A and B are shown apart, each in its own frame.
Chain A
Amino acid sequence: MKKIFVLLLISGLVSPAFCQDDLMDLLEDDAPKNERVTSTFKSTRLINGHTTETRTQGVLEFIIGHRFGRLNEGGENLWGLDFAQIRLGLEYGVSDNLNIGIGRSGVDKTFDLFAKYKFLRQSTSVPVSAALFVSGARRADSAFENLLEGQGIPFEGKYRNAYTYQLLIARKITSALSLQVVPTIIHRNYVATSTEPNDLLALGLGGRYKITNRVTINAEYIPTLNQENDNFKNAIAIGIDLETGGHVFQLHLTNAQRLQERGFIGETTGNFFDGDIHFGFNVSRVFNVAVKQNIRR
């Protein structure tokens, strides 16, 4: 018995010392199998619309959306830069999947509230990420009441409200390319003419292509499906995202000047191909107000 033990020891000693790769082979099986896909988009906004991205629990984001006037206004108005519409927003990660936000846009003095719930995350076994988005917007301008009264329409407070429901579905196809489709319903309590449906249907289409780790090109097109008023155009936008740590700068060109779903999906009047294009940007800054302890010690 002792002899065998000695033999065993010797065999251990003389066994080749260059078998680190064999050891590596023994480790290969341990790779995590079902990995989540992250960073489908750099921001919670594609350009005008939302993405499936959510801020994680305890993260507060301050987001400023800015759309200048039209490029084809010419040099006198500095190609639209003399005028701007702005939306100020605050958004918060209630959980990693649930975000809520408030915002206020200059157009029609509109306040909005939204909730976005990401119920599906793309992973090795799940092909897409998906989120539900619900928002309510209320135009608070006094001019609206006067406008209706002037037309002999008895004003009701509910006419100020519109509601948006979206299903956002996105897939990160490669590390560079992500695409998204967004079936949308916007319910407007008041519309100006009978050619504008109270329940407006639209299908948002968009994507991003990553040029470098910190720069992406984005495009977004939101055709409406039952809009009969020719004055209203489908929102088109192209842009770039520049990420610098805690900030993402989004610069874009779009025919939509309004910054709330009801506005840019349902009330865009610019014809992109006639040069009714607005330069705009979104700037966001995140704050970790209630840091979740990801690190378990």
Chain B
Amino acid sequence: MLIPLISYSQKFKSDSSYVRFFSEAPLENIEAVNSKAVSIIDLSNGNFVFSIPVNQFHFDKSLMEEHFNENYLETEKYPKAIFKGSFKPSSLVDGAQTVTASGDFNIHGQTRPVNIEGTLTKSDNQVLVKATFTIKIVEYKIKIPKAVFYNIAEEVEVTVYFEYKEL
């Protein structure tokens, strides 16, 4: 009797995603997008996780992409950026609402507690999540040498967008 009860869940898995980061600096704005991130959200308890394959960020300039992977994010060593947390309020109504996800973000092998405010839109069988937040790259021990060709901001803006289907 219990087994079918447990197997009932309100877990939703992303089937489409978009992650963008944007660094605004005097010399050059740098932007990259990634469509390979995956996420699961559990509406029954507010649990929320996402995983971004960091080497799937694409830049306009290929050499910048190479340096991003080789020198800054060291993606062979740290292939994924992972957020694990939960959002509040966990009681949801149909339609769009503001939620705050709290949890741990692991980037470049470093874990930091973060609060991410975003919008969750719920309909019958679909959930959309969109959030924009900033991360300080120094907190994740991403080293930017002083004399680099690319002028990289100390804070980058990250946008995540997920479309979910019920699991």
Contacts and interface: CB of A to CB of B under 8 A. Distances in A.
A, B from the same assembly: yes
Interface of A: 7-8, 11-13, 15-17, 19-21, 23-24, 26-27, 30-32, 35, 38-39, 56, 59, 96, 175, 213-214, 243-247, 286, 288, 291-297
A58 to B, nearest CB: 9
Contacts of B66: 38-39
Contacts of B67: 243, 245
Per DSSP, are chain B's interface residues mostly helix, strand or loop, or mixed?
mixed
Given A20-B86, A23-B42, A23-B49, A175 B76 contact: yes
Nearest to A210: B70
B8 A12 contact: yes
A8 B5 contact: yes
B130 to A, nearest CB: 15
Give the interface centre of B9, B48, B77 by most chain A CB atoms within 10 Å.
B9
Nearest to A296: B33
A291 B61 contact: yes
B47 interface: yes
B38 to A, nearest CB: 5
B162 to A, nearest CB: 12
Interface residues of B, number: 52
A24 B84 contact: yes
Q: Return the 5 tightest CB-CB contacts between A and B, nearest first.
A: A245-B149, A12-B44, A56-B62, A246-B149, A23-B40
Given A23-B49, A291-B61, A294-B59, A12 B9 contact: yes
A214 B62 CA distance: 17
Given A26-B11, A27-B38, A294-B60, A17 B46 contact: yes
Nearest to A58: B62
Nearest to A291: B60
Given A15-B9, A213-B74, 6 more contacts: A12-B10, A15-B44, A24-B51, A59-B62, A243-B71, A295-B59
**What secondary structure prevails in chain A residues at the interface with B?**
loop
Nearest to B147: A244
Interface in B1-54: 5-6, 8-11, 13, 31-33, 35-36, 38-40, 42, 44-49, 51, 53
B56 interface: yes
B15 to A, nearest CB: 11
16 contacts: A15-B9, A20-B103, A23-B40, A23-B49, A26-B13, A27-B40, A27-B51, A38-B70, A39-B69, A56-B62, A59-B62, A213-B70, A213-B74, A246-B149, A288-B60, A295-B60
